[in-house]
Homo-oligomer: A and B are copies of this chain.
Amino acid sequence: MNLQQMGQAARDAAYVLAQSSTRTKNNALLAMADALEASSSAILAANERDLTTARDNGLDEAMLDRLTLNSARLKAIAQDVRNVVSLADPVGAELDSRVLENGMRLSRRRVPLGVVGVIYEARPNVTIDIAALCLKTGNASILRGGRETFHTNQELVKVIQQALASSQLPQAAVQYISEPGREWVSGLLQLDQYVDMIIPRGGANLHKLCKEQATIPVIIGGFGIGHMFVDASADLVRAIEVIDNAKTQRPSVCNTIDTLLVHQAVAEPLLAGVSVRMAEKGVELVADSAALALLKAGPAKVRAAAEGDFDTEWLSLTLGVKVVSDVEAALAHLRAHNANHSDAILTNDILSAERFINGTPSAAVYVNASTRFTDGAQFGLGAEVAVSTQKLHARGPMGLEELTSYKWVGQADYLIRD
């Protein structure tokens, strides 16, 4: 295997996909879904090999569960592919169009990005997920999964490529880097002659590696400290429900809150209620001095915040609490503590709301709602490729449109420039 050859093959495949009708792409997706079910036994056998190795290497239960496929999960994955068929194909639509003074009709037409490189960890469903979304948008993909899922991914990609061939689409539309070794990742990250975008799906270290080594645009995302600010004018009773939802509905994901900021004017009554609810939910509070003074009387477990606590993405049943003087102080805290993902204000004050919306560094900002909505499905995007916390190309949940670019199209009558 040779990265240059893979890149060239992907590029060539991308030109074919860019010319393919939505019907052709959808038929390939349906063939892919059917093939996944038809090849169930081979895929599960390969997955069993990975699981055996994983157990021998002593991976923990959570890891093993993420690795595991069974016929039910495989059926669900196939169904997800069929759902992608039902989504609108963004390619070919015109973003805008005008006629210039000189008579040229100028428009911007949506086109596929070309070749997308994806580097990810454990979960084998990502292989199918990304391959399907890239195919739908006319992009070729080069995949590099974690070694824990080596055999499973091999089998999945074999099935995908057979489905592509049966649909008269180039097999190189979806390629997998099977060689072990970090140098293959570095090589992919610098294949800028052929690859248009890199999507890392994994932890902070993977994103750091990509940022440092890539000569290709990288979509950075998935981190950030989540904040909720309760303003003086908030409904303190309903606020408890939103705080609870944002913290405890699914503590391990990135759109939960890590820090609760409370306006000093309502700190006492609000934190009394917060302590009761958080105690019920088993949430430990980490409070600044002002909040600690109000919370230590309450039922919830609480400790004084230490250096770095307000910069910690808890991903667990822990919640930072701080009393602030007003919305400006809340914004100052957000800016100082890496708020770039999802943050919320609870308020009935129209000026505070606007101030907070415009003042946050967040990719997604909410007024009187839980931060848990930052999600492609919740936003109605139909599919989610990644959640970007950078500002270029795309920000927040990325759907199919974010897998496209545009080209300028100028049409005229033998027009020359004066």
* A residues at B contact (CB < 8 Å): 11, 15, 18-19, 92, 98, 100, 104, 106, 109, 111, 113-114, 192, 196-197, 211-212, 215, 217, 235, 238-239, 241-242, 244-246, 249, 335, 346, 353, 357-360, 362-370, 372-374, 378-380, 390-393, 395-397, 405-417
Which of B353, B359, B370, B391 sits near A197, CB closer than 8 Å?
Answer: B391
The reply to whether A392 and B395 form a contact with Cβ atoms under 8 Å apart is no
| Residue among B104, B357, B359 making CB contact with A409, cutoff 8 Å | B357
Tell me how far the C-beta of A318 lies from the nearest C-beta in chain B, rounded to whole angstroms: 20
**Inter-subunit contact A416/B242 (CB<8 Å):** yes
* Minimum CB–CB distance for A208 against chain B, Å: 9
Measured between beta carbons, the chain B residues less than 8 angstroms from A396 are: 407-408
Q: How far is the CB of A128 from chain B (nearest CB, A)?
A: 24
A352 to chain B, nearest CB (A): 13
Contact B369 A412 (CB under 8 A): yes
A245 / chain B contacts, CB cutoff of 8 Å: 416-417
Give chain B residues whose Cβ lies under 8 Å from the Cβ of A215. Answer: 211-212
A417 CA to B417 CA in the complex, in Å?
56
Counting every copy of the chain, the complex holds 2
Decide if B391 touches A395 in the complex (CB within 8 Å). no
Do A369 and B405 have beta carbons less than 8 Å apart? no
Q: When A100-B380, A359-B19, A379-B106 are in contact, do A395 and B412 touch as well, CB less than 8 Å?
A: no
Contact between B372 and A417 (Cβ–Cβ < 8 Å)?
Answer: yes
Contact yes or no, A368 B413, CB < 8 A: yes
Q: B113–A392 contact, CB under 8 A?
A: yes
Knowing A359-B15, A391-B196, the reply to whether A373 touches B406 (Cβ < 8 A) is no
- Taken together as a complex, chains A and B put the C-alpha atoms of A196 and B220 apart, in Å, by 12
Taking CB atoms, residues of chain B closer than 8 Å to A390 are 196, 217
Contacts of A392 in B (CB 8 A): 113, 196-197, 217, 392-393, 405
Across the A-B interface, give the 8 residue pairs with the lowest CB-CB distance, nearest first. A245-B416, A391-B405, A372-B417, A369-B412, A238-B414, A364-B408, A369-B415, A392-B393
B374→A335 contact, CB < 8 A: no
Most buried by B among A106, A241, A414: A414
Which of chain B's residues have a CB closer than 8 A to the CB of A197? 391-392
Q: Of B372, B409, B412, which one neighbours A416 at CB under 8 angstroms?
A: B372
Q: Is the CB of A414 within 8 A of B242?
A: yes
The chain B residue sitting closest to A391, CB to CB, is B405
Partner of A417, one of B19, B92, B109, B378: B378
Chain B contacts for A372, CB-based, 8 A: 416-417
6 sampled A-B residue pairs with Cβ under 8 A: A15-B335, A192-B211, A217-B393, A365-B410, A372-B417, A395-B406
